[in-house]
Amino acid sequence: PTAVFTGDGAAAGSSGYTSSGYSVYEEENDRLTESLRTKVSAIKSLSIEIGTEVKNQNKMLSEMENDFDSTGGLLGATMGRLRTLSRGSQTKLLCYMMLFSLFVFFVIYWIIKLR
């Protein structure tokens, strides 16, 4: 009985079959490893993009907060001026509104009377 040897020095037969079975598993592992490496790379690039977008959004929100603060200060100052203005001449304003209302009433009455 002579034994036939394969290229890697193992005898052909049952051990050759076992060796080729391991080779199939190795190829499958290599394929899955490469697939996993691709997915990890994609997730890494996506997380970097998300980080960049978050930084940009935070910067924009900070700028908006500053704009709203300055606008709120300007609006507060304007409202203060309006309060001061309305307190000083409230009586005159009321008198002018009454006179204007009477004038409009008489103009409308006169227009209706002419018809």
Print pLDDT tens along the chain (115 aa): 554 545 555 545 444 445 566 888 899 999 999 999 999 999 999 999 999 999 999 999 999 898 888 888 888 888 887 777 667 666 777 778 888 999 999 999 998 888 7
CA of 12: how far to CAs of 1, 9, 26, 27, in Å?
13, 9, 20, 21
The answer, as to whether pTM is greater than 0.75, is no
User: Where do the structural domains in the chain lie, given as residue ranges?
Assistant: 22-88
Q: Residue 19 has what pLDDT?
A: 59
Q: Which run of H or E residues covers position 71?
A: helix 14-88
